[in-house]
Amino acid sequence: FIEFYAVNPALSPKECVLGFKNRFNKSTEDFQYVLAGSETAKNFTSQTYVAPSFFMIKAGVLSLSTSQMNSYFPSEILSAKKSEYIISAKQEELPACILAHDYTSGAIKVTEEDLRAHPEYMGSSGTMSWNLKFSRSISFSSDYRTKDINWSVLGGKTDFSGTIIFNNEEYNVNPRNSFGYYDKNWGRDFSSPYFHLSSSNFTSEISGRLLDASVFAVQGEYKNKVSVLVSIEGKNIEFHANKLKKNQISYDCQEMNGTEDEGLKLHWSVSVHDRRYVIDIDIFCNTKEMSLRDFESPAGGRKVMRILASGSGTGKFKLYKKMKKNLELLEQADISKCICEYGNLETAEK
C-alpha cells in the first residue's frame, strides 16, 4: 500500500511538527483497545499538546509483519502541477515521490537510527520504491461530504502495473490480478469508529466466473451509518450514509473464535436495503494476519487513529432484488483479497 497524508500544511511549512510519541507493542490487549475504542491509551506518555503539521508518505505491507515506513516532509517542499501530477515530494538522495493522474513513483527510506531518534515516527525501518502505472476502471461519482469528514472513491477498481522493490526484493505488479483500490479522505478529523471494506475480487457462485467489472466499497461511521457503494458488471447501486435512514442499514465488526490453527478472527457484516435492492456482505479475517497502523489526528490533542487492517479478507457478497414481498437473488459471490479495516481514535491522558 502507498498513502499520501497531509496534515495542517500551512501551520508549519518549514518544519514537520508531530504532536506525540508512540510506543506500540502489538499484543492481544492492543487489539481489544482498538475494537473497544478505549480512551485509556496506555501506551502514551504525558506531553505538551501541539498542533501537528506535516506531510507523510506511509508505505508498506498489510500483513502479520506490520511492515510500514512513515516518511515525513515539511510542506514547503511539496509541489503540484495539475497538468502533470497531483503532488510531488522528495527526500534527500532519493527519487521524488509523485502521485499523478495515471501513475505513481517514488522511494522512501527509514533507518533504525531514524526511529531511535524519533520514536514519534510510529513505523518500522526499511526501504520501498515503486514505479506504477494505473487506470481507474470503476469509480463512483457521488461523494460523502460534510464540513468535517469527506470521502471519495476515485478508483474502486484500479488496475496497477509496474514494479515495487520492498526491502531489496522486487515484485512485478500485473494489472489482471492487482485488484487495486484508490480513494481520498479529507477533512478536520477521522470518522470514529472507523469501518472500511473494499474488494474487486468477485467469483460468482451462480455462474462460476470471475466478475471482472464488479466492486464494493463500504466506509463509515458517519453519524452511526456507513456508505455502501456497489458496482456489479456495469450496474451501480449506491447507498449514501447521509441519505439512509437508520432502519435501512445494519453493520458490525466483532471478534470471534476460528479453528485452532486460525485463532481469533474479525467478522465484518453489512446489510443495507431500499425499495428495490437488498445487499448483504460478510467478511472474515484472521487477526494474526492483520497489521496495526497509527495515524496522528489532524485535530491535534495527541489523538491517534489506530486501525487494524488487512488485505486478505474473504467472505460472501449477496445482491437481491425486491419482488413485492419476496426477494430474487441476482448475484451471490465469493470475495477474496478484501481490504478490511476497523479502528478508533485514542486520546492520550494529560
Comparing C-alpha atoms, which of 118, 221, 110 is closest to residue 166? 110
Comparing C-alpha atoms, which of 103, 107, 79 is closest to residue 92? 107
pTM of the model: 0.88
What is the pLDDT at residue 259?
82
Which pLDDT tens digits describe the chain residue by residue (350 residues)?
999 999 999 999 999 998 764 434 455 666 666 676 665 554 544 456 788 999 999 999 987 666 889 999 999 988 887 778 889 998 778 899 999 999 999 999 999 999 998 888 888 999 999 999 999 999 997 778 888 899 999 999 999 999 999 999 999 999 988 999 999 999 999 999 999 999 999 999 999 999 999 999 999 999 999 999 999 999 999 999 999 998 999 999 999 988 888 889 999 999 999 999 999 999 999 998 898 888 999 988 888 899 999 999 999 999 999 998 899 999 999 999 999 999 999 876 55
Q: Which helix (H) or strand (E) holds 303?
A: strand 303-323
Distance between CA atoms of 152 and 144, rounded to whole angstroms? Answer: 7
Query: Is it true that the peptide bond before 221 is cis, omega within 30 degrees of 0?
Result: yes
Collapsing DSSP to helix, strand or coil, 33 comes out as helix
DSSP code of residue 37:
T
User: Cell numbers of 267, please?
Assistant: 467478522
Q: What is the CA radius of gyration of the chain?
A: 20
**Alpha helices in 3-154, H assignment, sequence order:** 28-36, 112-117
